[in-house]
Amino acid sequence: MLAPAKINLALHVTGSRPDGYHELDSLVAFAEHGDILTIEPAGLDYFEIVGPFSAALSADEGNLVTRALTLARRLSAEHGESIPPLSITLDKRLPIASGIGGGSADAAALLRLIQCALPELGPALSDESIALGADVPMCLLGQPARVRGIGESIEPWSCFPRVPLVLVNPGVAVSTPAVFRGLVRKANPPLDPFPARSLTPRLLADVLLQTRNDLQEPAEALAPVIKEVHRSLEAIGALFTRMSGSGATVFGLFASDEAAQQAATSIRATRPDWWTLATALSAAG
């Protein structure tokens, strides 16, 4: 099961709450690449993490995949069902703490597999998944959407186009709490309604020019190399560039798959120490 990278095309911080959470208004979409999660029946539960970014993760009870299984088992018991022991393998292909929803996408992939096996649990899993993290419900839906509140209000964007893009991470982990602490203003204007018409990649870039990522400036203060990534993508013809989430991954939109592939090849040649991926944002539906 693919756990696709989640891209924040826009992220407006519109307020803060007494419980410490921030109110957000965000446009999200999902890439055609990400981590891979597989499950098989087993005699005992077993969880293994492999892949290029596995070393930075632990497969203990604090992992979001493990917590998602615990949540699903509780809900299944409440519905008179049971989830047998499982062997779970996570192929970790996305950088850690990179602003593209890797852990949340992994947890959502497990919940999606359980939804397929036990469809009657679908509504409960959707409702309860926010307990795992604000990004998990949107990753569970897995469609381009406008997301508000702390992640509980999700409005799918039905006319979203398929858009080639390049993701670049400079190998710097950025602390999300530290980025939020760096916000100068925590009550900013929300997004305008997104267009109801179909868009091309170039028209989407024009729409995004009217939006913001309010976390980008404080993230760049913590990791100035993010600005260098932006300049690299702009120099090789990206239609639009922006940091995703709280960083440090930056995306660039391109007019074609060929242009995205050429851009990724160019960046790898000049900065082999950066993680670079040519992919595409999936079209809605």
Cis peptide before 248 (omega within 30 of 0): yes
Sequence-ordered strand ranges (E) for the chain: 2-16, 22-41, 46-50, 86-91, 145-149, 153-156, 163-169, 240-243, 250-253, 275-281
Binding site members for ATP:
95-105
Closest by CA to 45, choosing from 20, 70, 24, 25, is 70
- At 259, list the tokens: 């242009």
Clarify whether 6 is annotated catalytic. yes
Q: What would the two tokens of residue 231 be?
A: 């300049």
- At residue 108's C-alpha, the angle toward residues 104 and 113, to 5°, is 155
Any idea what DSSP says for residue 284?
P
From the list 60, 135, 192, 227, the catalytic residue is 135
Catalytically annotated residues: 6, 135
